[in-house]
Structure 1
C-alpha cells in the first residue's frame, strides 16, 4: 500500500467519523434546545418525548435494513444518501411551525441517521485490519467525543442568542462538508453479489416490532397502562391501546425470529444474521450494548429540563454544564489509545461501565432544588469518561470476530442493539421522570390546605405538560406551589438518574459474559508459553 493511499484512507476516516458525529451533535443540540422549543411551539411533555423518540424509533427500526443495503449496494453510496437526507430534514426541522411538523422532520432525520451509522461502521470494518482497525475505532470514538463537546455549547449559544431553529440549521453546512470529504477520500466497497434478494418482509416486521414497543412505553402514562384513562380520539374501546401495542410487539418479535430462521434454512438473506449470534463475542456484546444503552442516554432527556426549569439556567449555561459530560468522553477516548496495549478491550468496557454508574450516582446525589452547577459537573465528567471508555471499545469487541462479508449486517445489528436500548431508555426514564413528577407534585400540593383541589390538578397538569417550563409563571401566582414544583422535579430527575444507574449495573453484569476469539487465542497462547517455560 502506497503512502498516498494510506493517507487517503485516514483522511476518509475523519470525514466518516464526522458524519456519525453529525448525529451526536444533533442529539445534544436538541436536548439543550428543548425548553425553548416548548416555549415557542407550546408542545406537551409527551410531544417532548416524541421529538426525541420519533428520531430514535425510526433510527432503530431501519438500521438493519440499511446495514444490509450498504453491503449490497455500496457502503459509501448509502452513507452519502444518508447525509443528504439528514441535512434536508434539518432544514424542515428548522422551519417547522408546529410540534407535529417538527416531529415529522425528526422522523425523516431518523431515516438519514439510520443510513449513516451502519454504513460508517461497515466502511471502517472493511477498510482497516489488525492494529489499524483498533486505532480507527479509537479515532472514530474520539471524533464523536470531540463533536459531542461542541454540540451543547453550539446549541446553547444558537438557542440563547439566535433561535432554536438555528440549532437544526447548523447541520446543513456540516452535511455539505461531509459529502465533499467522503466523495474525495472514501472508496466505494460492497460485498460480492450472491444473487439473494433483500428480506423485505423481515424489514417490515422489524419496523412494526420497534414502533409498537416504543409507542407503548411512551404513551402508557398518557393513555393508561391497562384501561383507557385518557383515550385518544381515534380509540373507542374501554381497554387502553397500550396493551394492544405491547401484544403487537410480542407477536412481531416471534414472527421476526420465525421468519428469519426459515429464510436462513432455505439459504436466503435475512435482516438479522442469525448465524452471527453463534459468535459469543457478537451475541454477548449486543446484549451488553442494549442494556448499557438503556442507562446511557435516558438521563440526557431529564437533566437539561431540570437545569433550565428548576435552576433557571438558560440554554447556553445548560450547554456549559452538559459540556462536562462531553469533555469526560473526549478525555477517555484519548486515554483508550494508550490503555489498548495494556488492557483488553473487554476490561476497558467494564471499567467504563463502572465509571458511568459512579458518575450517575454522583449526579443523582447532587440534584436538589437549591443545587448549583458544581454539584453535578463532577458526576457528569466521571459519567462522560465512562461513556468514552466503553462506547468505542464495545463496538470493536462486538465486530471483532464478524466475517468481513457480513460486516454491514454485523454493524447494523450492533447499532440496532444500541438504538433499541437508547429508545427504550428514553421511553422508560422519561416515563419515570414525568410520572414521578406528577405524583410527587400532587402529593406535595395536597398537603397545602390553602390550595383548592381543582387548582392542584391544574398546577400538576401545567408543570407536567410543559416539562417544567411553566414553573416561573406559577411562581408569580403562588411561590409555595412553585417551590413544591421545583422540589418534585428535582426528586423526579434524581429517580431517573438512579434508574439509569440501575440499568448500567445490569449492563455490567451482562459484560461479564463478554469475550472474543481474540481474547481466547491470547489466553491459549499465554498458557502455552507458560507451559513451555516450566518444561525441563
Structure 2
C-alpha cells in the first residue's frame, strides 16, 4: 500500500465514519431535543427516520450518477452537502425544521454511502482490496462504538447542537483534504444519459416498501405494500426498455455472486441491527441498569467488530470470501440463539461474552461479503454496486426495527415501557431474537449457495 492509497483510504474511511457516528450519537440526544421542543415520541422518531429514509431512496441513483460523472466528484459533493446539512441543523428552531435539515444530511449521506467503497475498490488491487475494505468497515464500527459515548459527553456539557458542530468540523477536514489529495483515475460514462424515470421509480418503490413495513400489519401498511408492488413492476419495465438503466437487472439475474451476496447482507442487517435496541431495553427495564452502564455493556459487540474487521478483510484476500462470510453468518446465528432464551436471571457476564462473540462473527461476515460484492462486478458499475449494497444495509436496519415492533405488539401492545409487565417484556424480546436467529440461518444458506467458482465479469452482467 503506497502513500497515495493510504491517504485515499483514510479520507474515504473518515467519510464512512461520519454517517454511523451521527446516527448513534444523535440517538443519545433525542430526549434533550424532545425536552427543548416539547415534541412527541412519534415526531422525534422522524429525526432519525428522515435521514435513514432519504439515504435509502437516493443511494442507488447517486451510485449510478457517480459511475457516469465520476465518484470522487460525487463523494466530495456529498461531504459538502452533509456538512452544510449538519451546520443548519445547529440553528433548527423546531423539531419539524430539524427533520427537514436531516433530510438534507441524508442526501449527502447517500452520496457518501454510494461512493466511498466504490473509490476504495477502484484504487486497490484485488489482492489488497479485502484488507482496505476491512479497514473501511472498522471505521464504520468505530463510529457506531464511540457515537453514544462521545455524543453523551458533548450533549451533557455543551447541548445537543454540539453533536452537529462536531460533524461540521470532521466534514470540513475531509472536504478540504479531499479536494487536495483525492486524485483518482476514473473510467467515466460521460456519453451515457442518466435514467431519471428509473431513478424516480426506484426511489418511490423503496419509499413505499420502507414506510409500508413500518405500518404492518395494519390496512395502510398492506395498501402501501401493494402500491410498492405496482411501482416495482413499472420500475422493471422501465429498466428493461431503457438504453442506460439506473440498475442493470442482469446484475441479479446473471450474476449469482452479486445477487446472493446482497441477499445475505440484507438478511444480516435485518437480523442484527436491533440487537442494541432490544438489549438496551432489557438491561435498563429488566436489569435496572442506568443508560450509561447499559451503553458500556453494549459496546462489547462493535468493539470486536472494529478490532477484527481489518484482519478478516485481509483474510478475504487469501481465502474465498464465500466461505469466510458464511462462517461469520453461522457464528451470528449461534450467537443469537441464547438471546432468544433470555430470562430475568441471565447474567451480565454471559451477555457481554455473547455480544463479543457476535461482534467477531459480524467482522468475519461483513468485510469478506463486501469484498465478494465489489469483486463480482466490472469497474464501470462500482458506484451502482456500492449503492445497492448500501440499500441492503439501510433496508435491513428498518426491517430489523420493524420485526422488533411486531414482537412488542404481540405481547405488550402500546403500553408504556414504564408500566409493562416484565415477563411480557422479556417474552417480546425473546420472540424478536428467535425471529432474528431463524432469519440469520436462512442468510447462512444464502451466503453459502453463491457461486463458489470465479465468475467472469462482463459489461452486460455487471
TM-score, normalized by the shorter chain, greater than 0.5: yes
Q: Distance in 2 between matches of 1:384 and 1:107?
A: 31
TM-score normalised by length of structure 1: 0.77
**Aligned residue for 2:277?**
301
Consecutive unaligned residues of structure 1, counting only runs of 5 or more, are: 227-240, 440-459, 472-481, 522-536
**Aligned residue for 1:502?**
438
Q: 8 Å contact 1:284–1:513 — kept in the other structure? A: yes
Partner residue of 2:450 out of 511, 514, 518: 514
**Aligned residue for 1:83?**
79
* Residues 33 and 393 of structure 1: CA distance in aligned 2, closer, same or farther (over 3 Å): farther
Alignment of 1:30-41 (within 5 A): 30-37=26-33, 41=37
Partner residue of 1:71 out of 67, 70, 86: 67
Does 2:228 align with 1:253? no
Does 2:212 align with 1:216? yes
Shift of 1:94: 4.4
Partner residue of 1:181 out of 163, 177, 183: 177
TM-score normalised by length of structure 2: 0.89
Q: Distance in 2 between matches of 1:54 and 1:306?
A: 27
Does 2:291 align with 1:355? no
C-alpha RMSD of matched pairs (Å): 2.8
Shift of 1:186: 1.4
Partner SS state of residue 229, structure 2: helix
Q: 8 Å contact 1:19–1:83 — kept in the other structure? A: yes
* Residues 270 and 342 of structure 1: CA distance in aligned 2, closer, same or farther (over 3 Å): closer
Q: 8 Å contact 1:46–1:218 — kept in the other structure? A: no
Q: Distance in 1 between matches of 2:139 and 2:79?
A: 17
Partner residue of 1:282 out of 258, 269, 284: 258
Does 2:132 align with 1:153? no
Does 2:418 align with 1:438? no
| Bigger Cα Rg | 1
* Residues 360 and 101 of structure 1: CA distance in aligned 2, closer, same or farther (over 3 Å): farther
Partner residue of 2:360 out of 361, 385, 406: 385
Aligned length: 456
Shift of 1:41: 4.7
Partner SS state of residue 197, structure 1: coil
Q: Distance in 2 between matches of 1:486 and 1:164?
A: 32
Q: Distance in 1 between matches of 2:393 and 2:31?
A: 26
Q: Distance in 1 between matches of 2:194 and 2:456?
A: 35
Partner residue of 1:412 out of 387, 398, 422: 387
Deviations 1:174-206 (A, max 9, x none): 112221232232114443335221000011111
**Aligned residue for 1:111?**
107
Alignment of 1:22-61 (within 5 A): 22-37=18-33, 41=37, 43-47=39-43, 49-61=45-57
Shift of 1:510: 1.0
Q: 8 Å contact 1:35–1:308 — kept in the other structure? A: no
Q: 8 Å contact 1:349–1:391 — kept in the other structure? A: yes
